[in-house]
Amino acid sequence: MKGVGVEFIINGQKLDLCGVKIQYQMINPLFDEDGLPRVFTTTFSIDATPHNLQILDYANRLDSTSTEDTFICQNHLGGMPFQEGYINVCQRTDKGFKLYFENLAGRLADKAKDKSLQNLDMGKEGVTIVNDTIFEATIIPGAISPSNLGIMINGKRYETGTFTVAGIGIYTALAALINADYPTAASVNNVVPFSISIDQSAIGNHDVIFDCFPQIRKVFEDIPNYVSIHEICESQFIDREGVLRLRIDIDSYSNFIDYNYTNDSTIEDAIDHFINVIHNQEFGQWSIASKINYSVGDKECLALKLDFTRYNTEFLGYNPLVYNITTINLNESTWSITSSSQLYSEKVRDAWDAYMINYSNTSVLGETISYPTIRNTKFYDNQNPLWQLYCNFNNQDNYPMNMKQCAKQFRYNLTPMVNHVDVLDAIADLGGLDIIGAFINRPEIQQLIVYSINSIDDIRAADECGKYVLNCYLREFEIAKQLPDFDVLDFWKAFAKWFCIAWYPTSSTLEAIQKKEILATRIIDWTTKVKPDYTFKNIYDQGTTFDLTHDPDDDKNIDGVLEQLVIGDGEQEVIPELSTLYEIEETAINTNPDRAWRIPEAIQVGNSTAYNNNQNDFLPRLLFFLGFATDINGADYPYADYISAVHSLDWNGADGMYETYWKEWRDFINKGKDLTMSAALNILDILNLQNFRQPRRLIRHSKGQVVGIIKRVSFSSTESRISESKVQFHTQ
């Protein structure tokens, strides 16, 4: 009868099957080696009818430019939707095509095979300098200092006038003027040293220029690429004889340039002297000094320009550079004009802080990236003598930064670890599927992370900065590159094996379900469906060995922990290509402060682009990331463990993987019979089987009654009819 057979629909058009018989295989994910619900056909041939040629893009012609071998397809049985998937062209001839169909789950397995986890599309993690953070200016005046503080916003100058003493009044008065035009934009820090902050988000995209003292002008231009302009005034030449000093501090490095002036000195003489010395001293590596002319009203002015663009773009995240210009009198007078300001933009610094806060804000479980503290004495393989032994070391809720050295040396590193469920999502996306379900949403499953030995060490301008090497962290990295270089399909299979789960489909989703849960589903009576003939094979329990695949490059081992579990004779093996890390409880005496804590430990050479360009392979291992724990001193640290609040990743123990996930399923699968029977299944029977959610069947036979779980169904169909089916069961 028409309409009761098979149809393949591509772009809304049905292929001409020309009476061909299509052989189907439906595999219960409980028994699939990848834990996937596969539905596929064997290869079948169709004619090159005009209609088929049009649908398949004339792909059999010698002059065809089509390179498409795969077509998205809806498979119908009996006029009803059966499976979504793909028609694959495996051969073209002058007379037709050889094709086969696979559902989305089968397509996922094909696309995941021979693909590395590091090639998954997971995006990037990092920081972008944004325009909604805060500028800040701080002035530390001398003992007696005529002061005038001004801020230019959108071309309008807000100024306070001249104060005899640079007290808090300068800042509050200026804030009031600004807030009259931009409510809540300005705020004052009333703790010495006083400062005023401007919230960029409150003033929009307008430029902000800080004018600090008449003789020093800070111009914040294109953050972080900005310059400092020093306007040297006649008032600095006190008594017409003395010393004009320019001081530049870069981190802990400090230097002074003195210009000895006399009655004949000019401003241009002073600027030329500073430029000449700057270009011949070490801090010239970070700045470009030049002389600029500019106008203030009708007055022509001359100033010293220091361009610190390189400092702020290449060395972001290090201690600030501080500058000042001071007049030193040769007589006994104490009167001086002094300014000291941090020569970095708070806009840039805030962005860096946000970057670091993103690292430390790991108490939010289920984030894509986390940074648990892990001890690894061997990480740098003796190439890094300052190494403090801990990846992602956290000190009082802060990830400490490395200090600049004369060589590349990392006291601390950041080694991001990727959330395991996010990895599964990226894998499922290869087949156009989404992962859903109660199992995946369990807190302990959401807590799983994939251990990594790939640090994000970065060297900023190591060959250019002269005396110092700046040991810091990448501002951006590819998330998937933190994973091991490991086959995607093997990783998927290993997780399904370890946690004894199977994946169940809808048209666009996969749901992970524990295999033992299927043992309690409703039993459906198929007595009238099956034929009397049967074959079976008895199953005998030969015992099972459960073990983990430990990374051979990790020297850490603790006897009696994470060891194999042997049931009976242990003939069968359940050994997923996954493992975890050992945990230690220690008092770390080389940290500040000393820490008594429980943390994971590896003794394994890691990867750092600063040292070996990530050449060391590592096997996938999982940990539970549990947020922040508290050490003996009451200080928090980011904590991972192989034990969660629910169960352990160890096979052994009452809360181990065997008792939690495997026991009931092992007991079922290692006894009973593998039974094969013929069955007269109609369209609805087959449609109801397609996701195998309720695979338990009761069969009352003249030679005995059994309850079994369907393992596999085979049948064939033409455009007009469906054949008798062969059904394989595993009986209890």
For residue 478, give the H/E element and its range.
strand 476-478
Query: Which residue reads 């050490």 in tokens?
Result: 631
DSSP secondary structure letters along 383-403:
S-TT--SEET--BTTB-PPPP
Q: Residue 328's pLDDT is what? A: 42
For residue 731, give the H/E element and its range.
strand 725-731
What is the tally of helices (H) and strands (E) in the chain? 14, 47
Long-range contacts of 556-559 (CB under 8 A, 24+ apart): 556/581, 556/582, 556/601, 556/602, 556/603, 556/604, 557/582, 558/582, 558/584
> What is the Cα–Cα distance from 519 to 708, expressed in whole angstroms?
10
ω into 695 cis (within 30 of 0): no
Q: Which residues contact 691 (CB under 8 A, 6 or more apart)?
A: 37, 504, 505, 506
Whether pTM exceeds 0.75: no
Cα angle 286, 235, 154; round to 5 = 60
For residue 492, give the H/E element and its range.
helix 488-498
Helix boundaries (H) for 33-114: 50-55, 104-112
> What is the Cα–Cα distance from 160 to 139, expressed in whole angstroms?
14
Helix boundaries (H) for 630-696: 657, 663-669, 683-689
Integer Rg of the chain from CA: 36
Percent of residues in the chain assigned helix, strand, coil, to nearest 5: 20, 40, 45
Kindly state the DSSP code that residue 347 receives in the 8-state scheme.
H
> What is the Cα–Cα distance from 198 to 220, expressed in whole angstroms?
12
For residue 426, give the H/E element and its range.
helix 420-428
Cα pseudo-dihedral 39, 45, 51, 53, rounded to 10: 100
> What is the Cα–Cα distance from 384 to 457, expressed in whole angstroms?
12
Nearest CA to 451 out of 117, 127, 120 is that of: 117
Structure token digits, residue 574: 């359940």
User: Using N-to-C axis directions, what is the helix angle for 104-112 and 420-428, rounded to 10°?
Assistant: 110
> What is the Cα–Cα distance from 588 to 566, expressed in whole angstroms?
36
Q: Residue 261's pLDDT is what? A: 74
Q: Residue 163's pLDDT is what? A: 43
- pLDDT beneath 50, residues of the chain: 1-2, 127-148, 162-166, 210-229, 231, 235, 238, 251-252, 296, 311-364, 461-468
Query: Which residue reads 């500058």 in tokens?
Result: 323
Structure token digits, residue 45: 């041939």
